[in-house]
A = this chain, B = another copy of it.
């Protein structure tokens, strides 16, 4: 699906250009989407009268938009008027330990999407967006009780265009000064791995209720490896 969209060699807009360490910039749409798809939460920034505010939120996406939902969206994004937001998703892959703290770093993959967040009023589009958010985390929408009309009324959903997005990736080992290479200091990587643990059934679960395979399949996987919803 991704391949049907134009790939870019530069940033889609100036405000998502990577300004520091431009060699780490990734403007290919497929790379941005891969980082978004590997994530479970985004850090969403909005402007408030008391300054910027950044809160963690679940999200989903299709080819054109990121979707955010819930009471949190209501508080942060409820004006419906297209408030500017920034959605950032980061994966931390390793600590990079150099011979001097000045060159310590981290290996990471980070995607940034900037643009207006607009409230979705249409019921069918709202339902579709909620399914995308649910199935982004674990595709279990079809194996749980569908939302009721009152669930839907109580949930606010906003969409943010994916048009203005970029990514930044650091990989590889430490980059030390030539003069430090023969020194007595250690240098290398400390990888970090996040894994799903086996599911723990709710104590009030009906005795004969089995977990759907979408949930049992997670154990031992990293978020990058989890089964994906087919949009």
Interface string of A3-33 (1 = CB under 8 A from B): 0000000000011000111000000000000
User: Are A195 and B196 touching (Cβ within 8 A)?
Assistant: no
**A204 part of interface (Cβ distance < 8 Å):** yes
Interface string of A80-100 (1 = CB under 8 A from B): 000011111010100101111
User: Are A43 and B192 touching (Cβ within 8 A)?
Assistant: no
Q: Beyond A100-B151, A186-B209, A192-B195: 6 further Cβ-contacts under 8 Å? A: A41-B106, A45-B45, A52-B85, A143-B186, A186-B215, A192-B194
User: Are B173 and A188 touching (Cβ within 8 A)?
Assistant: no
Interface string of A103-131 (1 = CB under 8 A from B): 01010101010100000000000000011
Q: Which residues of A contact B (CB under 8 A)?
A: 14-15, 19-21, 40-41, 43-48, 50-56, 58, 71-72, 74-75, 84-88, 90, 92, 95, 97-102, 104, 106, 108, 110, 112, 114, 130-131, 134, 137-138, 140-141, 143-148, 151, 154-155, 173-174, 180-197, 199-206, 209-212, 215, 218, 223
User: Are A197 and B192 touching (Cβ within 8 A)?
Assistant: yes
Please give the distance in Å from A215's CB to the nearest CB on chain B: 6
User: Are B186 and A211 touching (Cβ within 8 A)?
Assistant: yes
The closest CB in chain B to the CB of A180 belongs to B145
- Enumerate chain B residues within 8 angstroms of A20, measured Cβ to Cβ: 71-72, 74-75
Report how far A140 CA is from B215 CA in the complex, Å. 40
User: With A191-B200, A192-B197 as given contacts, are A97 and B145 in contact (CB-CB < 8 Å)?
Assistant: no
User: Are B90 and A41 touching (Cβ within 8 A)?
Assistant: yes
- Enumerate chain B residues within 8 angstroms of A85, measured Cβ to Cβ: 51-52
- Enumerate chain B residues within 8 angstroms of A185, measured Cβ to Cβ: 143-145, 209
